[in-house]
């Protein structure tokens, strides 16, 4: 079973996203902030994927991503945000984020993106080379 580290300061998001990921068969470690999430990885807990919110108090998603990549550079990260901005998107890509997704995200789309991240494939492509599912904000460079 794959383990996903879920980071969001909004407890309702932790609960609902955690339930969705559990239904897809993933083990979820939920943390309310970047510092406590970083300690999970630093403690060598097995984590296969990180899903983090961008806007959090204290350590925001980009600061968390920067610190995380120093500890686990190959760990894939999905950044969720309700405040999509081109500058944030470009910075997250430069830091190696796998996918940048605008909230709210539907369960089916989240499942597809998580599977792509765990498989190491392009989340903007549907099976057979098609485009991303309708409603999914897949922001890849042109």
pLDDT of 137 strictly over 80? no
Q: Is residue 134 included in any domain, yes or no?
A: no
Q: Is residue 18 part of a domain?
A: yes
pLDDT category at 53 given cuts 50, 70, 90 is very high
Task: Give domain status of residue 84, yes or no.
Answer: yes
* 90 within some domain: yes
CATH number of the CATH domain containing 94: 3.40.50.2300
Quote the domain boundaries for residue 104. Answer: 3-119
Evaluated on CA atoms 34, 56, 61, 6, the torsion sign reads positive
Residue 69 lies in a domain: yes
Q: What is the pLDDT of residue 122?
A: 62
Do residues 72 and 37 touch, judged by C-beta distance below 8 A? Answer: no
Give residue-wise pLDDT tens across range 66-103: 999 999 999 999 999 887 778 888 888 888 899 999 88
Question: Tell me: the pLDDT tens digits for 8-37?
Answer: 999 999 999 999 999 999 999 999 999 999
Number of domains making up the chain: 1
Q: Is residue 62 in some structural domain?
A: yes
Hey, what are 119's tokens?
């498989």
pLDDT at residue 124, rounded to an integer: 55
Average pLDDT over residues 42-63: 94
Strands 27-31 and 49-53: unpaired
Hey, how many other C-beta atoms are within 10 angstroms of the C-beta on 61? 26
On whether residue 124 sits in a domain, the answer given is no
112-128 pLDDT per residue, tens? 999 999 998 665 544 33
Residue 20 lies in a domain: yes
């Amino acid at each position: 079973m794959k383990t996903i580290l879920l980071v969001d300061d909004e407890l309702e998001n932790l609960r609902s996203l955690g339930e969705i990921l559990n239904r897809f068969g993933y083990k979820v470690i939920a943390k309310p902030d970047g510092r406590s999430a970083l300690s999970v990885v630093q403690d060598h807990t097995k984590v296969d994927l990180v899903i983090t919110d961008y806007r959090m108090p204290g350590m925001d998603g980009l600061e968390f991503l920067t610190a995380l990549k120093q500890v686990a550079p190959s760990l894939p990260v999905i950044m969720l945000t309700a405040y999509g901005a081109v500058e944030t998107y470009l910075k997250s890509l430069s830091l190696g984020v796998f996918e940048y997704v605008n909230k709210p995200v539907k369960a089916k789309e989240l499942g597809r993106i998580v599977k792509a991240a765990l498989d190491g494939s392009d989340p903007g492509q549907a099976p057979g080379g098609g485009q991303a599912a309708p409603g999914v904000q897949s922001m890849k460079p042109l």
